[in-house]
Amino acid sequence: MSTVAALPFPYVFEPARSALVIIDMQRDFIEPGGFGETLGNDVGLLAAIVPACQRVLHAWRAAGALVVHTRESHAPDLSDCPPAKRLRGDPSLRIGDAGPMGRILVRGEPGNAIIDALAPAPGEIVIDKPGKGAFHATRLDAALRERGITHLVFMGVTTEVCVQTSMREANDRGYDCLLLEDCTESYFPRFKAATLEMMHAQGGIVGWTAPSVGVLTALTAVQVSGTEWMSSRA
């Protein structure tokens, strides 16, 4: 068992039963010309968390524990994009329109890729999700249960949209969730702060939050044998 100093109290996890879930670290949200910018956001803020995310990803991989990446994305024919999502608001380009990095939020387009610094490695799970939450209309829950995963450590963007939605979905499904404070970001700093606070309020009503250093320290002592989460792979 590993223990991390966290709010509202220490987070205890077994790396062999835990997954690192990296939410939507895609060019569409982090680089100019993508979905985030079409919504009117300053995407500059988000790139600042990449080094901290990289440190955790490398440590998690070195420990041999499971990594999950998600991408917010839609099929090229937009059959999985509800009109309510495509038509909402007044973006400069809508989902499916051609932008400087290809069609906005469409699977396989350059802008939809995970940024190079956090690119998935062979054997890691990649989930394409049409919604904000990682569990809605995806195989994520089944993939985690097949591998005996009970604890999820979250990183990614944006804190109050896809990260918060995914962590709430996970909490309702019975996972113990930790959000790494320096590995998540919002276009709105006050929304990030409010989200962290509301996650761990009321005795951890949604889960825990902590700086990543505790997880890095805990992982230095860990080597998952490779027979645990991998053993139930199809």
194 binds ligand TIU (CB under 6 A): no
Rounded distance between C-alpha atoms, residue 196 and residue 12, angstroms: 19
Among 45, 104, 144, 161, contact with ligand TIU (rule: CB under 6 A):
161
CB-CB contact of 84 with 17 (8 Å):
no
Distance of closest approach, residue 181 Cβ to ligand TIU, in angstroms: 17
DSSP SS3 for 134: coil
Distance of closest approach, residue 54 Cβ to ligand TIU, in angstroms: 19
38 binds ligand TIU (CB under 6 A): no
50 binds ligand TIU (CB under 6 A): no
Rounded distance between C-alpha atoms, residue 226 and residue 67, angstroms: 13
Structure-token pair, residue 125: 């799970």
Distance of closest approach, residue 40 Cβ to ligand TIU, in angstroms: 10
Among 13, 29, 135, 154, contact with ligand TIU (rule: CB under 6 A):
29
| Alpha helices (H) in 24-115, listed in sequence order | 27-30, 35-38, 50-63, 83-87
CB-CB contact of 101 with 69 (8 Å):
no
DSSP SS3 for 159: helix
Distance of closest approach, residue 224 Cβ to ligand TIU, in angstroms: 28
Residues 123-142 interacting with ligand TIU (rule: CB under 6 A): 132
37 binds ligand TIU (CB under 6 A): no
DSSP 176-191: EEEEEEEEEE-SSHHH
CB-CB contact of 151 with 17 (8 Å):
yes
169 binds ligand TIU (CB under 6 A): no
Smaller CB separation from ligand TIU, 57 or 162:
162
Among 6, 7, 19, 24, contact with ligand TIU (rule: CB under 6 A):
24
Hey, what's the torsion of the CAs at 55, 57, 62, 67, to 10 degrees? Answer: 170
Q: Is 81 a catalytic residue?
A: no
- Burial of residue 5, with CB atoms counted within 10 A of its CB: 0-12 exposed, 13-18 middle, 19 or more buried: middle
157 binds ligand TIU (CB under 6 A): yes
Within 8 A by CB and 6+ apart from 190, the residues are none
User: Binding segment for ligand TIU among 13-21, 157-165, 167-175, 197-205 (CB under 6 A)?
Assistant: 157-165
72 binds ligand TIU (CB under 6 A): yes
Active-site entry in 53, 81, 162, 183: 162
Among 8, 12, 14, 39, contact with ligand TIU (rule: CB under 6 A):
39
What positions carry a catalytic annotation? Answer: 24, 129, 162
